[in-house]
Amino acid sequence: MLHHTMLGTNDIERSRRFYDAVLGLLGCPAGIDHTAPSGHRRLMYRHDRDFFALSEPIDGQPATGANGGTVGFTCTSTGQVDRFHDLAVANGGTSIEDPPGLRGDRTYLAYVRDPDGNKLCAIHWLPAEARS
């Protein structure tokens, strides 16, 4: 259903360091530079059929995190969720809400904010037989 996700950034190079680290953990190649027809810089990530990008806002206003918005990234294990969280924090992100861990009986996740304040979720669904 979704074609792509794009978030605003106030600093492309800071975003590159952050997202190259956390998305690299998920197997995504480093971001690719792109200049929009408007002249604004963008950073593009492609992995399998997924497309994620960061852009300087075209309206010239500062980029801000969406209040109530979250971008979720699928992880292959609880350990990958933990590593995503740790890499995010080590690369300028902020840990938010509860520490990484189990929510309910099958959802293991971590929430962070990227350096521009965008809320991200690293999530792994445990198999049904792992229910407590």
pLDDT, tens digit, 9 for 90 and up, residues 65-121: 888 899 999 999 999 999 999 999 999 999 999 999 999 889 999 999 999 999 999
Which residue range(s) make up the domain with 108?
Answer: 5-58+65-130
Count of domains forming the chain? 1
At residue 67, the pLDDT reads 81
pLDDT band for position 131 (cuts 50, 70, 90): low
Listed residue (93, 11, 118) closest to 56, CA to CA? 11
CATH number at residue 114: 3.10.180.10
Which burial class, exposed, middle or buried, applies to 118 when counting CB atoms under 10 A from its CB (0-12, 13-18, 19+)? Answer: buried
At residue 130, the pLDDT reads 64
Listed residue (7, 18, 100) closest to 53, CA to CA? 7
Average pLDDT, the chain: 93
Model pTM greater than 0.85?
yes
